[in-house]
Amino acid sequence: MSKLFGKILIVDDDEDVLHALRLLLKKHARLVHIEKNPERIPTLLKNEDYDLILLDMNFTQDVTSGREGFFWLDQILELDPSAVVILITAYGDVETAVRAIKEGATDFVLKPWQNERLLATLSSAMKLRASRQETTRLRSRERQLSADLDTRFQDFIGGAAPSMRRVFETIAKVAGTDANVLILGENGTGKELVARALHRASKRSDEVFVTVDMGAISETLFESELFGHVKGAFTDARDDRAGRFEVASGGTLFLDEIGNLSLPLQAKLLTTLQRREVTRVGSNKSVPFDVRLICATNMPIYDMVQEKTFRQDLLYRVNTVEIRLPPLRERPEDIPLLVEHFLEKYARKYQKAIKGIRPAALKKMERYHWPGNVRELQHMIERALIMSESSVLQPEDFFFAGDHRDGQEDGIVFDSYNLESIEKMVIRKALDKEDGNISKAADELGLTRASLYRRLEKYGL
């Protein structure tokens, strides 16, 4: 018979019980340790990681009340909160059993036991142990993934400009609360960086941070993605699936590009936020959630309210506190800090001995209008560092949109500064550069595929 159980510890002051259990279980477990003296439990747990612990309720000091068993149950769970403990007694009753489960025991077995029933109990307990280990592994993985993501999003640099100092001050005031936050700003200004900074400084920092690109979710998948679904709810629903609100419960939910939602989807989102519960597609059961909500958009949300394309009541719901991120052209004082940061970052990444940048190049950057904001600056520094053969970056190492040079295929000359005209021109240029590849063009522009498709439709490209 295969070994169903892993390592088992049996603690009982009756040697006959110990040997009987050892004889029964050694055929089913990889390791069986028996111990008569409960005082040795702390030492045993420090030296071995047991999958199951069978603990007697009554020892020599008190053979009927079970108080010693409860004491040692507490000691075990203090040493190992994930321990799977099954209590054994000859004086069991329903009240004692209920208390045992409430205090952390996995199950309760009466002496004399039936072998088949005991094995079935241990089998169920072993499944619980495996489930707890998997949960612990997934939580550790989640924390590591979140830490890795946060490492990528540490490029939140600034503070020389008064407008950015105000942003940092607001983050410091708001982060410790559960207030809903709306972040407004152009593409590339760092809205997700602000959201992650709020999460890291919050009381929920040890919990999950879930990002949802609202602009990338189709009308048909909106409810399934955000609220979840049950098996068989629709053709491709092969399993039960939790939505983003359930997954983020206890942590922070970041809804990016919220201004892209249609009015019907805005109504569904508003209802969910008001009720603080979701109902999975195909189910009638409501599931409560507890999230700290952060939203962001690059769209003129207040104009949209006036135009009745965005619900005013939803806006009130999501912007208890509002953070406006200034575009880079409005905070040129921060450009030297950003340049220094990205130079150091990419010099280390590409192992290049770049010592700095010429003042003339910095001056040129400070005069540039930065349509792509910090994201454009970051890409520009990375490209210049890769291509430069000098130890100090020169003005000619940088190419700015609007420059027109012989032999420069990337050059774009603006006939006007109308933002829609510029956006249309830049999208067309990115598509030409990537030979029509939507994914690559979207990445070049710092957009999602869905966002790029919307713009292509808008401009008839």
Amino acid at position 359, single letter = P
The token pair that represents 461 in the structure block: 């490209």
The reported pLDDT for the residue numbered 405 is 40
List, in order, residues 6 or more apart from 191 with CB less than 8 Å away.
Answer: 183, 185, 256, 296, 298, 325
Residue 3 is predicted with a pLDDT of: 59
Q: What is the DSSP letter of 395?
A: G
pLDDT, position 315: 97
Q: Which amino acid is at 59?
A: F
Distance CA(161)–CA(157), nearest Å, equals: 11
Domains in the chain, CATH or no CATH each: 5-133 (3.40.50.2300), 153-326 (3.40.50.300), 328-397 (1.10.8.60), 401-461 (1.10.10.60)
**In Å, how far from its chain's centre is CA 102?**
32
Q: What is the pLDDT of residue 461?
A: 78
Is 354 within 8 Å of 385 (Cβ atoms)? yes
pLDDT digits (tens, 9 = 90+) for 352-396: 888 889 988 899 898 899 999 999 999 999 999 998 888 899 888
What's residue 42's pLDDT?
A: 92
Residue ranges in the chain modelled with pLDDT below 70: 1-3, 60-66, 91-94, 97, 136-137, 139-155, 401-419
pLDDT digits (tens, 9 = 90+) for 130-146: 887 777 667 666 665 55
**Residue 408: per-residue pLDDT:** 40
- Which residue(s) pair with 53 in the sheet? 9, 85
Query: Which H or E run includes 228?
Result: strand 228-229
Predicted local distance difference test score (pLDDT) of residue 140: 61
What pLDDT, on a 0 to 100 scale, did the predictor assign at position 409? 41
- Residue 40 is predicted with a pLDDT of 93
Instruction: Label residues 354-376 b or e (16+ Cβ within 10 Å = b).
Output: beebeeebbeebbebebbbbbbb
